[in-house]
C-alpha cells in the first residue's frame, strides 16, 4: 500500500518464526531477539515477570484483542467503549473511519462476480490514444517505483479528453466493505527502556480516574483481504507502533498513538481514509482486488472490465512466474494518492504508480499495489488498458528488478508490454520522438533517469525513447532475447545494464546505440 507501508520491519513471533518484511526494508532474514510479540490470549516476557507487569500485559493484550475485533467487525459502539474520553479528534477519527470501512453493507453483485473467459491472444489492436502533457507524448505510459527504499516514480504524462457526457454510475457500484484477511494488534514486550508519557498526559488521565498509563509497543499484523474473505492471497505485513493506554479499575482504554508522547504518527493505512470500498475480480492467478474511494465509480467499472485481460496479456508475454493477480487502488484526490502510494503529489499528467513494501530473500514481494492517480478518471478504456498492462509488467518483474536499475530499462520494458499491439507505426506510439527524428534531432545516447521526471519538460519524449529502444530490440533480436536482456539489465545499476547489452545481444553498447539510431530514422520516414 503502499503508501502507508513505509515504516515496516521484521518481527519474530512467539508462535511462528517467519519473515515478515516491512516497507522500509527490501529484504530481511533476522528477527529482533529483544522484542517478542504477545500472542492473543497469552503473555510472555523477556525478563523475570512480576505480578504487576504480568497483569498489565494481560490487560492490555485483552484491550488490543477487543480493539482488533471491534475494528474488523465495524462495531462502532464497541469501538467507542474502548477509546478514552481524552483521545484527540484525529486519533478517534482514524479508528472510527477504519471501522466504517470494515463495516459497510455486504457486497452487492457486480460484473466481477462472473468468472471471465481469459483471452487466448494479445489484446486486440485499438486506435492509438494520442496523449500529451500539454504538448503531446504519444500513447499513455506509466511507471512503477518502489515504496521503499527508493522514491516512488509516478507515471509518464498523459492527456485526457473532456468530461464524459454519460451519467455517472452510483457510488455503491464500487463494491462493499473491506474484509481483512488479517488485522490484529499485538503487544510486544522487550528489555528496552519504557517510553514515559508526558506529565501533562498522565495528570489528565489521573484526574479522569486512571490508575496506570502505559506507552505500549505494539505490532499491527495485517493482510489486505477483499470484499469476501479471504480476498487476495498475499503475505502478511507488520507495522510497529506505540499506543498510549490507560487503566481504569480492571479495564484499559486506548488514548492515542506516538504523537501523544512526541513521536511520529504511524503510517496511514488505505482503510483509514474515508469512503473505502473494495471489489473482488477473478484473474488468472486468483482473486484480484480493486480498492477505491468516493467519486470513482466510473473508473472502477473500467478497471473491473479491463483487469482480467490485462493480467492475462502480461502473463502471455512474461509467463506464469508471478502472482498473476494484483491490488489496484483508485484514488480521487491528490491526498489519497500521496497517502496510499507514498509518492509526491502527481502532476496533472501522471496516471499511476506501482509501490511495494519489501522483497523477501526467496523473492516474495510484499504489499505491492498499483495506485491510480485522480487523472485516471479521465482516461478512456483503451488508454487505461495500456496503463494497467504497463503497471502489471512492473508487478510481474518486481522480484528480479533492482531498485538501482536505470529507468530506460524498467520503464521502456513496461512501455513495450503496455503498448504491445496498440500501434502500427512508430509515429502512432511515439509521436513526439518521431517528430524530433524527422526534424533531424535523433537521440545520441540512452536516456538518463533525470529525463523521466514527470514534471520535467522532456518526460514524454524520455518514455517514448525508452519504449523505442525495446521495440528496436524486439524487432532486431526477437522477444525471447528481449526478455533475456531485461532479466540481465534490470538486475543491477547502469553499468550492469550496459554490460547486459554486450553479453546478451553480443554487440558493443556503442554499436547498439548506433543501430538503434539508424532504425529510428528508417522507421520514421
In this structure, are strands 286-292 and 327-330 parallel, antiparallel, or unpaired?
Answer: parallel
Tell me which residues of the chain have a pLDDT lower than 70. 1-49, 104-166, 346-348
What string of DSSP letters covers 234-282? ---EEEEEEEEEEEETTEEEEEEEGGGGT-PPPPPPGGGSTT-EEEEEE
What string of DSSP letters covers 288-327? EEEEE-TT-HHHHHHHHHHHHHHHHHHHHHH-SSS----E
- Burial annotation 251-263 (CB, 10 A radius, 16+ → b, else e): ebbbbbbbebeee
Give the closest residue to 152 by CA, choosing from 407, 390, 419.
407
Could you give the CA distance from residue 344 to residue 371 in angstroms, rounded to a whole number? Answer: 13
pLDDT at 344: 79
In this structure, are strands 327-330 and 352-355 parallel, antiparallel, or unpaired?
Answer: unpaired
Tell me the three cell numbers of residue 9.
520491519
Could you give the CA distance from residue 36 to residue 169 in angstroms, rounded to a whole number? Answer: 48
The Cβ of residue 319 has, within 10 Å, a number of other Cβ atoms equal to 11
Three-state secondary structure call for residue 359: strand
pLDDT at 104: 64
pLDDT at 40: 46
Residue 369, H or E segment: strand 369-372
Give the closest residue to 421 by CA, choosing from 455, 382, 393.
382
Give the closest residue to 134 by CA, choosing from 447, 376, 348.
348
What string of DSSP letters covers 138-159? BS-------SSSSPPP-PPP--
Could you give the CA distance from residue 2 to residue 21 in angstroms, rounded to a whole number? Answer: 13
Place of cell 489496484: 328
Could you give the CA distance from residue 488 to residue 415 in angstroms, rounded to a whole number? Answer: 18
Place of cell 504489499: 367
Q: In this predicted model, what pLDDT tens digit does every residue of 257-271 receive, in sequence order?
A: 999 999 999 999 999
Q: In this predicted model, what pLDDT tens digit does every residue of 52-93 receive, in sequence order?
A: 999 999 999 999 999 999 999 999 999 999 999 999 999 999
Q: State the helix-helix crossing angle for 381-397 and 407-419, rounded to 10 degrees.
A: 130
Could you give the CA distance from residue 189 to residue 407 in angstroms, rounded to a whole number? Answer: 43
Cβ within 8 Å of residue 219, ≥6 positions away: 11, 37, 185, 186, 188, 238, 239, 240, 241
Could you give the CA distance from residue 459 to residue 158 in angstroms, rounded to a whole number? Answer: 10
Alpha carbon 273 to its chain's center: 15
pLDDT at 167: 76
Torsion of CA 204, 207, 209, 213, to 10 degrees: 30
Q: Three-state SS across 73-108?
A: HCCHHHHHHHECCCCCHHHHHHHHHHHHHHCCCCCC
Residue 225 is classified by DSSP as B
Amino acid at each position: 500500500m503502499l503508501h502507508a507501508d513505509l515504516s515496516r520491519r521484521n518481527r519474530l513471533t512467539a508462535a511462528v518464526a517467519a519473515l515478515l518484511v516491512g516497507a522500509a526494508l527490501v529484504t530481511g532474514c533476522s528477527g529482533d531477539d529483544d522484542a517478542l510479540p504477545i500472542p492473543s490470549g497469552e503473555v510472555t516476557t523477556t525478563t523475570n515477570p512480576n505480578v504487576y507487569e504480568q497483569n498489565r500485559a494481560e490487560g492490555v493484550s485483552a484491550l488490543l484483542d477487543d480493539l482488533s475485533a471491534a475494528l474488523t467487525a465495524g462495531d462502532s459502539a464497541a469501538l467507542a467503549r474502548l477509546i478514552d474520553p481524552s483521545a484527540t479528534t484525529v486519533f478517534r477519527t482514524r479508528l472510527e473511519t477504519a471501522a466504517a470501512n470494515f463495516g459497510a453493507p455486504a457486497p452487492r453483485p457486480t460484473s466481477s462476480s462472473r468468472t471471465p473467459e481469459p483471452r487466448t491472444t494479445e489484446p486486440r489492436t485499438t486506435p492509438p490514444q494520442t496523449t500529451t502533457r500539454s504538448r503531446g507524448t504519444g500513447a499513455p505510459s506509466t511507471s512503477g517505483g518502489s515504496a521503499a527504499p527508493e522514491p516512488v516514480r509516478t507515471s509518464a504524462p498523459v492527456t485526457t479528453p473532456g468530461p464524459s457526457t454519460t451519467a455517472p454510475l452510483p457510488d455503491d457500484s464500487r463494491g462493499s466493505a473491506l474484509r481483512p484477511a488479517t488485522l490484529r494488534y499485538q503487544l510486544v514486550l522487550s528489555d528496552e527502556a519504557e517510553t514515559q508519557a508526558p506529565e501533562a498526559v498522565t495528570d489528565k488521565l489521573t484526574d479522569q480516574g486512571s490508575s496506570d498509563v502505559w506507552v505500549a509497543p505494539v505490532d499491527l499484523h495485517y493482510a489486505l483481504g477483499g470484499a469476501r474473505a479471504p480476498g487476495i492471497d498475499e503475505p502478511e505485513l507488520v507495522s510497529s507502533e506505540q499506543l498510549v493506554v490507560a487503566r481504569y479499575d480492571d479495564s484499559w482504554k486506548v488514548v492515542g498513538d506516538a504523537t501523544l508522547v512526541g513521536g511520529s504518527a504511524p503510517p496511514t493505512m488505505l482503510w483509514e481514509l474515508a469512503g473505502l470500498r473494495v471489489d473482488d475480480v477473478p484473474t488468472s492467478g486468483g482473486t484480484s482486488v480493486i480498492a477505491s474511494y468516493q467519486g470513482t465509480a466510473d473508473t472502477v467499472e473500467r478497471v473491473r472490465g479491463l483487469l482480467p485481460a490485462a493480467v492475462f496479456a502480461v502473463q502471455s508475454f512474461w509467463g506464469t512466474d508471478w502472482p498473476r493477480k494484483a491490488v489496484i487502488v483508485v484514488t480521487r484526490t491528490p491526498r489519497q494518492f500521496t497517502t496510499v502510494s507514498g509518492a509526491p503529489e502527481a502532476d496533472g499528467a501522471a496516471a499511476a504508480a506501482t509501490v511495494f513494501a519489501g522483497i523477501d530473500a526467496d523473492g516474495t514481494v510484499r504489499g505491492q499495489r498499483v495506485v491510480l492517480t485522480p487523472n485516471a478518471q479521465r482516461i478512456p478504456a483503451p488508454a487505461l488498458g495500456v496503463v494497467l498492462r504497463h503497471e502489471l509488467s512492473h508487478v510481474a518483474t518486481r522480484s528480479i528488478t533492482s531498485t538501482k536499475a536505470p529507468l530506460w530499462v524498467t520503464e521502456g520494458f513496461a512501455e513495450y508490454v503496455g503498448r504491445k499491439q496498440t500501434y502500427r507505426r512508430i509515429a502512432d506510439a511515439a509521436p513526439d520522438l518521431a517528430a524530433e527524428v524527422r526534424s533531424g534531432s535523433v537521440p545520441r545516447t540512452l536516456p538518463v533517469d533525470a529525463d523521466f521526471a514527470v514534471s520535467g519538460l522532456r518526460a514524454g519524449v524520455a518514455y517514448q525513447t525508452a519504449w523505442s529502444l525495446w521495440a528496436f530490440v524486439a524487432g532486431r533480436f526477437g522477444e525471447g532475447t528481449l526478455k533475456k536482456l531485461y532479466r540481465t539489465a534490470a538486475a543491477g545499476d547502469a553499468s550492469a545494464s550496459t554490460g547486459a547489452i554486450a553479453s546478451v545481444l553480443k554487440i558493443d553498447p556503442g554499436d547498439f546505440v548506433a543501430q538503434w539510431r539508424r532504425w529510428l530514422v528508417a522507421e520514421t520516414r
